[in-house]
Amino acid sequence: MELNDQAALTSGADFWSSTAAGAVPAITLTDGPHGVRLQGGDDLLTGRPATCFPPAVASGSTWDPDLLRRMGEALGDECRAMGVQVLLGPGINLKRTPLGGRNFEYFSEDPLVAGMLAAAWVSGLQSRGVGASLKHFAVNSQETDRMRVSADVDERSLRELYLRAFQRVVTTAQPWTVMCAYNKVNGVYASQNHFLLTEVLRDEWGFRGVVVSDWGAVVDRVEAVRAGLDLTMPGPDATGDQALADAVNDGRLPAPILAQAAQRVSDLVAKTFKDQADAYDVSAHHELAREIAARGIVLLKNEGDLLPLSAGQTVAVLGEPARTPRYQGGGSSQITPTRLDDALTAISESAPGKVTFITDPALAARSDVAIVFAATEQETEGADRESLDLPREQLDLIARVAAANPRTVVVLSNGAVVATSPWDSAVPALMEGWLLGQAGGSAIADVLFGRVNPSGRLAETIPMKLADHPSYLDFPGEAGHVRYGEGIHVGYRGFDARAQEVAYPFGFGLSYTTFAYGEATATLSDIGDLEIRLAVSNTGSRDGREVVQAYVSLDGSRVRRAPRELKAFANVPIAAGSSREVTLHIDRADLAYWDTKLSRWVVENGTYTISVGASSRDIRTTVAVEIPGDEARYPLTADSTLGEWLSDPRGAEVLMDVFAKMAAEGGGGMAGALTMDPAMLQMAMSFPLVRMAMFPGSPFTAEALAELVEAANS
C-alpha cells in the first residue's frame, strides 16, 4: 500500500467515517453505548430515532450477562439496519466517585461486574458483524478536566481495579476496537501511552483489534501511532496524515509501525458486515428495553410489604418525573428514542380508574397509596456532579407526602447514586429507578404492580454521606493531577476496610420473595479453578431471581487486601417454593494480586475464605479453602533488610551460618549484639545488609555480601 494511503487510513474522513484509501472502503462509527446515535449533517445533538435501551447504570444493576448479550445483539441488528459498522461502547470505566458525571454510562464500582457484563454485550453486538469499542482506556473516572487531567494511580490499583475490567473483556470477548481515553495516566496521555496501548493491551492481553482515539484525544499523531494508536477520530486530518508520512520518510517513525496501524484498520473494515439489513423489529426492541429496565430496578426498601400494589388500591402519583421521564443522561450517548413510555400512563393502565396525578401533597392522604417520583436534575458527559443530594424541592415533596400518607413509595430517577439518608427513614418503600431508557415508565409499573419481581442489585454502594466515600479527599484533584489516593480501596472495598456504615451496600436489592441459602462447599479443579456449590431456595410465594454473590478474603496476606472482593456471581431464576443447586466458578487467575516487586500476578498460598451471600454485607454461608500458591519468592539482594533475609528460609539459613561462624570465632561487636540482645535485633531488622556494612565489626564486606546474595538465591 502507498505510504499516503497508509497514513490516510489511520484518520477519519469526517466526524463519523473512516477514510477510504487504496482498496479499503470507509466504515461508519457512531455512539453508543445504549443505542445507535446515527447522525446526518451537522446536528451533533440528535440522531435518527433508535431504541434507547437502559443506560449502563441500569443494565449494570441487572447483574445478568445473558440480558446484556441480548441487548448487544439487538444493538447489532439496529446498526446493521442503519449502516453502522462500529458502535462506540461499552463504557466500562470504574465508578470511582459517585459524583462522576458519566457514571450513568458505566456499569459498576467493581471490575468483575463491569467486565462480565461488558464482555457479554460485546459478544452479542459482534455476533451481528458490528464492532464494539471498549471505552475509555483507561482510568477515565471523572469528567473534571477530562481532556488534560493526569490520573495518578499506583500500579497495583491500576492492574487490579482500573484495568481489570478491560482485561477481562479483551481476553474473553476480543472487542474489535478499544477507544483510548482523553486523560493522561500517570502523566502520559492515554492516546500516546505505549505502556497502555502496546505493552499491556497487545503484548500482555493479546488484543488484536484497532485502537481508536476518543474524539479529539490525539495530541501528536506521530507519538500516538508510535505508542500503538491506529485510528485518529474525527477527521479529516490531512496535516496529521502528512506528518505521519514525513516521519516515516525522515526515519523518525519506523515504516512497519505505520503499515501495521493501517493494516489493522483495513482488517477491521474487512471484518464488518457487508449485507445491510432493511429494518429491525422496533416493537420487539422496545419490549427488550422494557425487560432490561425492569430487571435493572433495585428495590431498596419495602416495609410491611407495601409493594407490590394491587389494581384495587387507589393511587396518588406526585412528581414531574412521573409524566416527564428522566431516562438517559446528556452528551454523546444521547439517543432519539423510537417511543417513550412514561410511568404515569403505565401506572394508570395498571389500575384503571384508581390513579390520579396530583401536585398538592396534602391531598396524598386521600389515596390508599402515594407514589412520589423524584429525580436528579441532570447527569451529563463533560461535567461531574456537585452533590449527592436530590434537589431541595424534591426532598420537601417527599417529606410532605410521607407526612400525609404513611403508605408512601418513592421512585428515584438518577444516573448515579444519590444520598437517601436520612429522608428514607420516613418512607416505607423506596425504588431505585436509575435512568431506564425509553421503556422505563412501563418497567417501573411492571415492578410496582408485581408483574416483574424485582431482582436488580446495587453495582455501586450508596453511602450515608459523600464525605464517607473512599474517593472523597482525592477528587477531583488540582493542578492538573488527580491522585487515586484510596488505592485498591475503591467503592465497597474501602467502606468495608473501614467498617463504615453505608445506606445500602454493594450487591444489595430486595425481592417480593425470600431466599434461603444452604451450606456452600468448594472444590478445586485440576487447573486450580474454584467451584463453589450451594443450594438456594425460594422460600416465599412468588417466583423470583436471586443474585448469588461470592466474595473472597485472605487473612494474613503478604499484601494489603480489601476485606472482601467479589469474585463470582450467578443470576438464577427460582420458582416459588423450590430449590436450585447454584454453581459459582472462580478462575484461579481471579485470585491473584498484582505484585509490584515481581511485576506480575501472583496467587498467594493460603487459606482463602469464600463468603457467599445476597450482598457484600449479607453473607449467608462461608467456606474455607486451601489454595496452593504460585512460586513468588522475592530474590534477596544486598539491599534487602535483615528482617527480609531472616524471614526467607534460604536467606535465614545462609545468614545464620555467618553469625554462627562469628560467634565461634569469639563473637563480640555487632554479631554479639545481634545474637544476644533481642531489642537490638529488632531494631536491626529494618537495616538493609549493605548499610550494616558501615558499622564497626560488621562481617558484611562487599565480597562477603556478594557471596551471601549468590548463596541465598542459588
Residues engaged in binding ligand BGC (CB under 6 A): 31-32, 88, 135, 214-215, 332
Residue 308: cis peptide before it, omega within 30 degrees of 0: yes
Closest approach, Cβ 190 to ligand BGC, in A, equals: 12
Query: Residues of 293-322 as b/e, b for ≥16 C-beta within 10 angstroms?
Result: bbbbbbbbbbeeebbbbeeeeebbbbbbbb
Nearer to ligand BGC by Cβ, of 332 and 414: the residue is 332
Q: How far is CA 560 from the centre of its chain?
A: 21
E-strand ranges in 52-180 read 86-88, 131-137, 150-152, 177-180
Round to whole Å and give the CA distance between 424 and 389: 12
Collapsing DSSP to helix, strand or coil, 185 comes out as strand
Residue 604's CB: how many other CB atoms inside 10 A? 19
Closest approach, Cβ 333 to ligand BGC, in A, equals: 7
List residues bridging with 649 in a β-sheet.
Answer: none
Closest approach, Cβ 56 to ligand BGC, in A, equals: 12
Backbone angles phi and psi of 707, in degrees to 5: -65, -40
Rg (Cα) of the chain, in Å, rounded?
A: 29
Instruction: Report which secondary-structure segment, H or E, holds 522.
Output: strand 521-524
Closest approach, Cβ 10 to ligand BGC, in A, equals: 17
Residue 714 CB contacts under 8 Å (≥ 6 apart), including other chains:
none
Nearer to ligand BGC by Cβ, of 88 and 375: the residue is 88
* Grid cell listed for 705: 555480601
Closest approach, Cβ 210 to ligand BGC, in A, equals: 14
Residue 682 CB contacts under 8 Å (≥ 6 apart), including other chains:
none
Closest approach, Cβ 273 to ligand BGC, in A, equals: 20
Query: If you write DSSP's letter for every residue of 422-438 in order, what string do you get?
Result: TGGGG-SEEEE-----T
Residue 90: cis peptide before it, omega within 30 degrees of 0: yes
E-strand ranges in 65-110 read 86-88
Question: Catalytic site residue 237?
Answer: no
Is residue 198 within 8 Å of 180, Cβ to Cβ?
A: no
Nearer to ligand BGC by Cβ, of 88 and 705: the residue is 88
Nearer to ligand BGC by Cβ, of 128 and 136: the residue is 136
Is residue 434 within 8 Å of 58, Cβ to Cβ?
A: yes
Nearer to ligand BGC by Cβ, of 215 and 512: the residue is 215
Sign of CA dihedral 211, 217, 218, 223: negative
Closest approach, Cβ 169 to ligand BGC, in A, equals: 16
Nearer to ligand BGC by Cβ, of 182 and 207: the residue is 182
Q: How far is CA 274 from CA 100, 271, 490, in A?
A: 38, 9, 43
Closest approach, Cβ 280 to ligand BGC, in A, equals: 22
Helices (H), ranges, 559-677: 642-647, 649-664, 669-676
Closest approach, Cβ 155 to ligand BGC, in A, equals: 25
Closest CA to 55 of 95, 4, 86, 17: 95
Residue 32: cis peptide before it, omega within 30 degrees of 0: yes
Q: Indicate which residue of 5, 214, 384, 496 is catalytic.
A: 214
Closest approach, Cβ 691 to ligand BGC, in A, equals: 50
Nearer to ligand BGC by Cβ, of 215 and 327: the residue is 215
Half-sphere exposure of 151 (CA within 13 A, CB side): 32
Which residue's Cβ lies closest to ligand BGC?
332
Nearer to ligand BGC by Cβ, of 101 and 509: the residue is 101
Closest CA to 324 of 377, 362, 366: 377
Collapsing DSSP to helix, strand or coil, 454 comes out as coil
Round to whole Å and give the CA distance between 540 and 686: 59
Site of grid cell 465497597: 492
Collapsing DSSP to helix, strand or coil, 631 comes out as coil
Closest approach, Cβ 86 to ligand BGC, in A, equals: 10
Nearer to ligand BGC by Cβ, of 233 and 709: the residue is 233
Round to whole Å and give the CA distance between 700 and 398: 74
Nearer to ligand BGC by Cβ, of 332 and 549: the residue is 332
Collapsing DSSP to helix, strand or coil, 546 comes out as strand
Nearer to ligand BGC by Cβ, of 336 and 421: the residue is 336
Catalytic residues: 214
